[in-house]
Amino acid sequence: MDAAVTTCYRHPSYETYVSCTRCERFICPDCMREAAVGHHCVECVKEGQRSIRQARTVFGGAVPRSAVPLVTYVLMGLNILAYLGELVRPGIVDRFEMLGAGLNGPDGARYVYEPGSFPGFDAVGVVDGEWYRLLTGAFLHLPPDESSFGSVPFGVLHILVNMYALWNLGRVVEEQLGRARYLALYLLSALGGSVLVYLIAPSAGTVGASGAVFGLGAAFYVINRRLGRDMQAVNRFMAGFLIWMLVSAGFTSWQGHLGGLLTGGIVMVAYAYAPAKRRTAVQAAACVVLLAVLVLLVVLKTSALSG
């Protein structure tokens, strides 16, 4: 008497006599996954992967199964897309740059903010409730015709330098922190840079990812300190980073650079030295508290300007 025909449990039209060594269901070559003994089916492999605890770095970030720095790619893409948008619609810069307080006159020109001194002028900026500028300005860069650095338009050099720094620093920091922590650090650094601009130079219109990049620079420094690596090369890198902040002060905002550097450093210290047993909770709490402090500073500065 002939044996009963057996077919793959996922592909009933495929005749097979090989079964999964775990669940004993019959599987075709497309559904076979090699195991230490025999073969496993797709479902058993997935179930086994779920039971394996994912490795994490000392900062709590999940060790990525892929070497692709996805968040860094996305952030670079957003900056590049925003810059292309500036080329098509230059008005985007005036609408979304980081501006603490300004006045739009009847002639369309921008004036220094002085409450009550210019009847008929419209307030513009964070002081007028445009809080989104605190982050949107960090994804814009100087237009190509803004100024020149030698024979190279500084607007082009501005985004090239920032994206190069983001590419080099972002990959390292994202690998250590994981995607969620890395994104939180980047956005808080960008916000911290904008807040310091608002506190010190509210009438200055600024753009650029430099604040967030300087936050990544501070994180890179703390990461290497925490891991006990040789700091000589890192110290040289940070010295060059600070020199760049001074050199570019005539073209960009040193306040934004410094604010991002300080904010990124604070966030990274919280990440690096949080107790292991309550690491995620402490890290999240530190980010929330820092965000609340930045928001409070903005509220107080707005109140002072409006008063």
The values of phi and psi at residue 99, to 5°, are -135, 120
Domain count, the chain: 2
Q: What is the mean pLDDT of residues 154-159?
A: 78
Identify the three-state secondary structure at position 122. Answer: strand
- pLDDT for residue 241: 78
Alpha-carbon 239 to chain mean position: 23
Q: Which range is least confidently modeled, 56-60, 215-219, 295-299? A: 56-60
Cβ neighbours of residue 125 closer than 8 Å, sequence gap 6 or more: 99, 100, 101, 102, 113, 133, 202
CB distance 189 to 271 below 8 Å: no
Residue at 242: amino acid letter: L
- Say if 196 falls within a structural domain: yes
Task: Identify the CA nearest to 210 among candidates 266, 148, 256.
Answer: 256
Q: Are residues 85 and 147 in the same domain?
A: yes
- Say if 210 falls within a structural domain: yes
- Say if 265 falls within a structural domain: yes
Residue at 64: amino acid letter: P
Cβ neighbours of residue 147 closer than 8 Å, sequence gap 6 or more: 153, 154, 155, 251
C-alpha span between 72 and 257 (Å, rounded): 19
Q: Tell if the pTM clears 0.85, that is, is over it.
A: no
Q: Are residues 250 and 208 in the same domain?
A: yes
Q: Are residues 42 and 76 in the same domain?
A: no
- Say if 61 falls within a structural domain: no
Does pLDDT of 186 surpass 80?
yes
291: tokens are: 């965000």
Does pLDDT of 2 surpass 60?
no
C-alpha span between 121 and 130 (Å, rounded): 17
CATH of the domain at 81: 1.20.1540.10
Sheet holding 110-112, edge to edge: 110-112, 102-104, 122-124
CB distance 191 to 294 below 8 Å: yes
228, 230, 234, 239: CA torsion to nearest 10: 110
- pLDDT for residue 1: 40
CB distance 74 to 110 below 8 Å: no
Mean pLDDT over each residue of the chain, to the nearest integer: 86
Which range of residues forms the domain containing residue 153? 70-90+134-306
For residue 29, the tally of other CB atoms under 10 A from its CB is 11
Q: How confident is the model at residue 287 (pLDDT cuts 50, 70, 90)?
A: very high
Q: What is the mean pLDDT of residues 98-115?
A: 77
